[in-house]
Structure 1
């Protein structure tokens, strides 16, 4: 493998033959099309499920409704958790791709899709500079097909855009580091603009996480190499000015509007709180992320063991040191944190993709010797088992549990997924890394299209919020204008997003009083948890509820089947 980026080539630089060769002429076009194949199925058919996605989308919708693009709110509650960057991006996307009342959730997901595509192209560019074009293409393909990135591309949150900022900043840091490492001229001002602009945008999107991940890399690498002067070459004082220009205007505005509460809650409770204690029940022991890695980094996890062997064998190489410094120190910190969610380690996956790609291309050029190690063979067998579990869960279990059933069609789609995965394992056992990578990416592509394009539309039981909102709208009970709708027993943000900002989330007793206090109003009541209390209050005050319709489904956040009935008041004859 050759190491480019104006540095000595310390590894093999023989020409690649095989599956990658035909794609090298237009790699960015191929990767962009590959991303669209992976990221667009299910984008419009997947309802708003993730609570954070619905909160982001609803807060963005309220910005468009009120014209206030400074303060972030979910209904009347201040949402002082993350900065405003993603809300601005989503408001632009929603205003372009949808119209009032702006309830098409897919329009809010466009920034996530664009961010994920940028991540893949940036990984390719970084791989091309650190290694060569073949390795960059392999790394981009692995990153695009990664299960966790595909998931984040389908959710209207911060993570895809933040990841693009992190990878862009890391690429710029690599430029300065390797220029200093090999005695090249100091990169020009444009590189500093790009570096600190990426950091500033990352802060505006998700606060201090971009400086955290980049800072961990810079500090670890500098300590390992005992070289610190290159950091000054990035022009950090100038960079501080760029960050201030990007972040400070909105930060001052939100501090004035919230009287300082934004910074106190975002930094003191949200960010720092996740470090010292488990928040919202999202706890995991040390090793949590490592245990999930075979699934969340699938299908690239097929090459993790060879990548570890490859990195350790070449640990004196500056490229390996940069990628190890990117992946390992921050990983250790995240494992020690109390609050854990699977996507927290996503900013480290580009480094893993580059290491895996380096191992694959080196294996292609050197006869696949690194894949003959016994641990690599054990890893292949484990990967096959993980593949079987992932395919079964996505194409069999989830449709059966949350939809009308699996059906022969989805069972049939298992065949190409497992067959191509089997070929990937076989090729790697035969030390044919190039064909193994191609087969693994084919398996991931078929699974993504099958799961998101065929299985997701069948998940009728998860469409409770859209069904409930449609029922309310059919009766004229929309909450986009005026206070006409209350709901008890089902307080999901997705319902507020779909039904309207002025939806009243309340108790059973509160829903009854809402109907009494507001003429021509409606209430959705969960039969199991809210019906008795609702009826008790109405009966005591001489009213009788009139049922207008029912919907049922599964509240996925609590994994509970519920039935919602839409009521309005009818004056009792007694």
Structure 2
């Protein structure tokens, strides 16, 4: 049997990624916080009158939205116009763009390594890394930003052979800016350091690069200028200071953590591939004069140090690190495949631990959760990790395809379940409560609730603004003839006179004014 060609592997990776990222994409409600916010902004763009400038000056709950540029919101609004407002259309643009990052990483790897094997292993690691898949399926901005960055790297590497490809570097910088704002400074800085460390004269003397930067960044600069002219200093205060540079020195909205916060995130969710990363990073250091190793070292060190020093800590900030980790791990696994030098004891022990975790998970899912697809997932994880551990112990390189296939099946089963967004269990389900509100309350109405914090997903589904308030304020709102959404304990304690309960859902009662 002849081996796969590069184009065949590229097509296989694309199909495998699309299946993972699109499978049962709309089977779970939107998550707080980013999903609900992004969806609401997109819905308000979609609802705006044709020919209006709402797409240029987006709003959230009728108020100016200054957090991020609206590229992803515009794509979601376009999907709403084609397929209606639902979870699937909300998540589709981000999922598609993130899935395209898998074959793109393969192409980047081929240009970096000048070898298809480490490129293939890198793409497969990226494909089967849980945080990349899970956050890429959510209606968030990070997966698309990473794909644009990978496209930037591809254009940059390709321009060494064909100079016009350098035009794409500037356009990718513009796309990153219009998606994630000032993240472009960090990712663009990494690309710039890589240029200086590898082939500065070839790239920097390329006129196409500078023309592309001017043309690509121009729309993003024009958007920022338009916001500044329309909103004045208020936009600069919120977008650039509060939502961007303040995150460096102080925790925004209470999101903070220790300097090793992201190391813990990697330890929690990046297995089994994190097991091979130390050897991959050491390999890159030993071959640090190679172009591929310099990209891995610069990208990993600069990005990880940067996000670790930022005071505001959020789990998805670590996402752009995964392509660099995947390249390092892909290089190490290709060395193992060719030379069969296997660290038997350490690797086998950790893989056995994962197999035991799968076994314990299977027992838990049978006894507590009673979701058959999760039981099947636990069985597949236990069997594949057990087989991989045995092959590692026997110094058999076939443990690598066993790990890839096992992890792919595990993630396929997880994504087909309704448990892939486990944060939904942290608070009450919003859809039944939103359905109750839609029956009795007109769109855009303000409702005051006893729940502890605001939930953007609830606002999205009920098409109203549900505002959390203290007991004292709730009493005042009742006196002012406002709608209230009260949990049963608060309703009993307030003892409101002449209370008219319109209906109840999930231990909440909707009170008429």
Same fold (TM over 0.5): yes
Within the alignment, does 1:294 sit opposite 2:238 as a pair? no
Residue in 2 aligned with 1:470? 435
Query: 1:391 and 1:526, CA in 2 relative to 1: closer, same or farther beyond 3 A?
Result: farther
Within the alignment, does 1:447 sit opposite 2:420 as a pair? no
Residue in 1 aligned with 2:22? 40
Query: 1:409 and 1:494, CA in 2 relative to 1: closer, same or farther beyond 3 A?
Result: closer
Query: 1:83 and 1:391, CA in 2 relative to 1: closer, same or farther beyond 3 A?
Result: farther
Q: Please state how far the C-alpha of 1:468 moved relative to its aligned partner.
A: 0.4
Residue in 1 aligned with 2:292? 319
Residue in 1 aligned with 2:111? 129
Higher fraction of helix: 2
Residue in 1 aligned with 2:163? 188
Q: Please state how far the C-alpha of 1:498 moved relative to its aligned partner.
A: 0.1
Question: Any idea what SS the aligned residue of 2:485 has?
Answer: strand
Query: 1:230 and 1:154, CA in 2 relative to 1: closer, same or farther beyond 3 A?
Result: closer
Residue in 2 aligned with 1:528? 489
Of the candidates 85, 101, 122, which is equivalent to residue 119 of structure 1?
A: 101
1: distance between equivalents of 2:135 and 2:428? 20
Q: Is the 8 A contact 2:167 2:208 kept in 1?
A: no
Q: So what's the TM-score if we normalise by structure 1?
A: 0.79
Q: 1:340-351 to 2 correspondence within 5 Å?
A: 340-351=313-324
2: distance between equivalents of 1:353 and 1:419? 24
Q: Please state how far the C-alpha of 1:445 moved relative to its aligned partner.
A: 2.4
Q: Is the 8 A contact 1:56 1:157 kept in 2?
A: yes
Unaligned runs of 5+ in 1: 1-16, 180-184, 553-562, 570-574
Q: Please state how far the C-alpha of 1:62 moved relative to its aligned partner.
A: 1.4
Residue in 2 aligned with 1:80? 66
Residue in 2 aligned with 1:259? 232
Query: 1:56 and 1:396, CA in 2 relative to 1: closer, same or farther beyond 3 A?
Result: farther
2: distance between equivalents of 1:380 and 1:270? 44
Query: 1:322 and 1:364, CA in 2 relative to 1: closer, same or farther beyond 3 A?
Result: same
2: distance between equivalents of 1:263 and 1:388? 52
Q: Is the 8 A contact 2:21 2:96 kept in 1?
A: no
Query: 1:426 and 1:486, CA in 2 relative to 1: closer, same or farther beyond 3 A?
Result: same
2: distance between equivalents of 1:194 and 1:398? 48
Q: Is the 8 A contact 2:449 2:469 kept in 1?
A: yes
Residue in 1 aligned with 2:509? 565
Q: Please state how far the C-alpha of 1:114 moved relative to its aligned partner.
A: 1.0
2: distance between equivalents of 1:390 and 1:213? 36
Q: Please state how far the C-alpha of 1:130 moved relative to its aligned partner.
A: 1.9
Of the candidates 492, 504, 507, which is equivalent to residue 455 of structure 2?
A: 492
Stretch of structure 1 that moved more, 73-82 or 85-94 = 73-82
2: distance between equivalents of 1:387 and 1:210? 40
Q: 1:385-400 to 2 correspondence within 5 Å?
A: 385=353, 389=357
Q: So what's the TM-score if we normalise by structure 2?
A: 0.87
Q: Is the 8 A contact 2:445 2:464 kept in 1?
A: no
Q: Please state how far the C-alpha of 1:358 moved relative to its aligned partner.
A: 1.8
Describe the superposition over 1:296-347 as per-residue Cα deviations: whole angstroms up to 9, x where unpaired: 3334224213312322332232221222222222212222222222221221
Query: 1:547 and 1:392, CA in 2 relative to 1: closer, same or farther beyond 3 A?
Result: farther
Q: Please state how far the C-alpha of 1:217 moved relative to its aligned partner.
A: 4.1
2: distance between equivalents of 1:159 and 1:458? 16
Within the alignment, does 1:108 sit opposite 2:90 as a pair? yes
Residue in 2 aligned with 1:56? 38
Of the candidates 75, 81, 95, which is equivalent to residue 89 of structure 1?
A: 75
Larger radius of gyration: 1
Question: Any idea what SS the aligned residue of 2:504 has?
Answer: strand
Residue in 1 aligned with 2:350? 382
2: distance between equivalents of 1:229 and 1:188? 9
Residue in 1 aligned with 2:152? 169
Query: 1:196 and 1:566, CA in 2 relative to 1: closer, same or farther beyond 3 A?
Result: same
